[in-house]
């Protein structure tokens, strides 16, 4: 599937954090997988995981600086035009998905509906 049809953005903060975590894992060639799965209190939940294996044939690969982001072709339908950010607050540090396709989300920000 052509990835010039779809758009995702990754902030500089998120790119730097991905590089940092890949360095800690000692897997600088790995990628970050973003996905959407059924489940959660709103119907869908986000998947964010490091991917050590090569992308599958049905995956789209986006490159930001030297960081690769992998998204499967079903998930990109829900994630098109999203932005991945890194957030650090007094109570929480973690990736933040800003998804314009969300119609509602739960309080934990891990589950959403479209």
Q: Which phi and psi angles does 39 have, rounded to 5°?
A: 135, 180
Task: Indicate whether this model's pTM tops 0.75.
Answer: yes
Least-confidence region, from 9-23, 27-41, 63-77: 27-41
Kindly state whether residue 91 falls inside one of the protein's structural domains. Answer: yes
Read off the CATH number of the domain in which 109 is found: 2.60.300.12
Kindly state whether residue 101 falls inside one of the protein's structural domains. Answer: yes
Residue 107 has pLDDT above 70, yes or no: no
Work out the average pLDDT over 5-32.
94
Q: How confident is the model at residue 112 (pLDDT cuts 50, 70, 90)?
A: low
Kindly state whether residue 24 falls inside one of the protein's structural domains. Answer: yes
Residue 62, domain extent = 8-113
- Look at the chain and report how many structural domains it folds into: 1
Kindly state whether residue 2 falls inside one of the protein's structural domains. Answer: no
Residue 45, pLDDT score: 86
Kindly state whether residue 54 falls inside one of the protein's structural domains. Answer: yes
Distance CA 38, CA 42 (A): 9
Distance CA 68, CA 27 (A): 12
Kindly state whether residue 1 falls inside one of the protein's structural domains. Answer: no
Radius of gyration of the chain (CA): 14
Kindly state whether residue 3 falls inside one of the protein's structural domains. Answer: no
Kindly state whether residue 64 falls inside one of the protein's structural domains. Answer: yes
pLDDT tens, position by position, 52-106: 988 888 899 999 999 999 999 999 999 999 999 999 988 889 998 998 887 666 6
Long-range own/partner contacts, residues 14-17 (CB < 8 A, 24 or more apart): 14/84, 14/85, 14/86, 14/95, 15/64, 15/65, 15/67, 16/86, 17/86, 17/95
Mean of pLDDT over the chain: 87
Residue 38, pLDDT score: 82
């Amino acid at each position: 599937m052509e990835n010039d049809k779809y758009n995702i953005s990754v902030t500089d903060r998120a790119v730097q954090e991905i590089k940092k975590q890949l360095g800690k894992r000692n897997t600088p060639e790995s990628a970050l997988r973003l996905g959407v799965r059924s489940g959660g209190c709103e119907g869908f939940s986000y998947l964010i995981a490091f991917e050590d294996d090569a992308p599958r044939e049905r995956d789209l690969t986006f490159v930001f600086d030297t960081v690769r982001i992998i998204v499967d072709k079903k998930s990109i339908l829900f994630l098109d035009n999203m932005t991945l950010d890194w957030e650090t607050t007094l109570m929480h540090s973690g990736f933040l998905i800003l998804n314009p396709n969300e119609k509602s989300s739960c309080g934990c920000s891990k589950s959403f509906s479209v």
